[in-house]
Chain A
Amino acid sequence: MDIDEMKAAWKQLEQRSEETLDLSRRLLKQAQLNKAQSAMRRTTVPPLLELVIDVLAVVLIGSFLGSHIDSARFALPAAVLQLAAVLKLASTVRQLVLIRSIDYAQPVVVIQRELSKLKLLRVRTTLVTLLVSPLLWTPLAIVGAQALLGVDLYQAFGLRWIAANLLFGIAVIPVAIWIARRYADRFGSTSFAKRLADDIAGRSLMAATVAIEEIAEFETGR
């Protein structure tokens, strides 16, 4: 059995498929496109929601920073939060720009490379956000308590509490990575928790990098 024989059999299969064209036309007419449309919404809606949240965060933190700029104890944690919020906003805007630039009628290699870049950006953003979150908890608590409740955490709990929280945040990061690597497989194959675990463990990052390498190899003919 050689490739030409296989190709001939494949063509015969095509002729038989022609007989089902009527079926396919009916299927397309009746197609309930909800699933396909919701799959596309999943690509664009989350970054749009993120954009709204990111802009809100930048505005609120910026406003707090502006009103406490002369007080280093509040300005410093607010500046750290503002930096994180601006970086997150920049990443979200970049994702949206990439999504809008995707035209499926472009050559396969071009679009797959763009999609892989988008995936890599999403994975990196999620990874950094998840890993930095424990460190941002302390400045968030200081700023939040002051802005929402008028409570000064430096006075309420003292510097030791703040230092302990920062150290706890640092300690949480390697523990989270260890748990994600060890238990990611137990979350099922499609769950949100599994995806998060894969992101933290670096598996998603690895998969996205491999996909980009695969495309580059295909393109160069290696």
Chain B
Amino acid sequence: MFKVANTYCRNAEDRRDLRQEIAVQLWRAFPAYDEARPFPTWMYRVALNVAISFARRAGYGNAHSVPLDERVAEPADSRATIDEPDPRVEALREFIEQLDPLNRALLLLYLEDHSYQQIADVLGISQTNVATKISRLKQRIRDFVGSTARNR
């Protein structure tokens, strides 16, 4: 839930709101959960549907960048130490912020090590489509990292 919220929201308050909204929808949807089906697939479907709707409502296209300090400061447990941001994760986040909500969901599931079949089940597209899209995303990431490195 934290990762889904972090993938779709730009600031800490939005992330908190989104986590609450996901939690409420999970509770509401749970009575209809079919135990014969895998729990993670069900949970990701609910969480991603809520997150994508949230992002569209907030106008994800208006601005994609997140102030770095906001990301580093979250989650704000007073006891937690704030680690130096990993440049690889930062680059990945910058790339994710450029994607539309559906491709963000796809990349998030890929990064979370889900199989193509699981990704296809969560998103409702074919496995072949998943494979094609992931291959394109990998190419786009390579291009993005290359152009970012040239600009720095």
A residues apposed to B, CB below 8 Å: 1-3, 5-14, 16-17, 19-20, 23-24, 27-28, 31-33, 35-37, 39-40, 103-112, 115, 189, 211, 214-215, 218-221
Known: A13-B86, A35-B17, A107-B45. A218 touches B103 (CB 8 A): yes
Instruction: Return the contact of A211 from the options B50, B56, B132 (Cβ within 8 A).
Output: B56
In chain B, what residue has the closest Cβ to A211? B56
Q: Which of A10, A31, A211 contacts B92 (CB 8 A)?
A: A10
Total A-B pairs, Cβ < 8 A? 139
Residue pair A7, B111 in contact (C-beta under 8 Å): yes
Does B59 count as interface, using CB distance less than 8 angstroms? yes
* Interface residues in B, total, Cβ within 8 A: 58
Q: Interface residues of B: mostly helix, strand, loop or mixed?
A: helix
Q: CA of A174 to CA of B128 in the docked complex: distance in angstroms?
A: 48
A40, B45: Cα distance in complex, Å: 18
Flag B107-135 by CB within 8 Å of A: 1 or 0 each.
00011110000000111111011001100
Measured between beta carbons, the chain B residues less than 8 angstroms from A35 are: 17, 20-21
What are the residues of chain B within 8 A of A7 when measuring CB–CB?
A: 110-111, 113
Bound state CA distance, A106 and B45, in angstroms? 7
Of B45, B52, B80, B133, which one neighbours A20 at CB under 8 angstroms?
B80
Closest B residue by C-beta to A219:
B125
Say yes or no: B49 contacts A111, CB within 8 Å: yes
Say yes or no for B75: interface residue by CB 8 A criterion.
yes
In chain B, positions 28-82 with a C-beta closer than 8 Å to chain A are 29, 32-33, 42, 45-46, 48-50, 52-53, 56, 59, 62, 75, 77, 80
Determine if A5 and B88 form an interchain contact, defined as CB atoms under 8 angstroms apart: yes
- The complex places the Cα of A112 from the Cα of B122 at a distance, in Å, of 12
A17 pairs with B124, CB closer than 8 A? no
Is the contact region of chain A dominated by helix, strand, or loop, or is it mixed?
Answer: helix
CB contact under 8 A between A221 and B124, given known A7-B111, A12-B86, A16-B83? no
CB atoms of A37 and B125 under 8 A apart: no
**If A10-B89, A104-B50, A110-B124 touch, does A3 touch B59 (CB 8 Å cutoff)?**
no
CA distance in complex: A197, B9 (Å): 26
| Docked-complex contact A23 and B32, CB < 8 angstroms | no
Q: B29 near A215 (CB under 8 angstroms)?
A: no
Interface pair A105/B91, CB less than 8 Å apart: no
Interface check B3, CB cutoff 8 A: yes
Contacts of A32 in B (CB 8 A): 20
Q: Which chain B residue lies CB-closest to A35?
A: B17
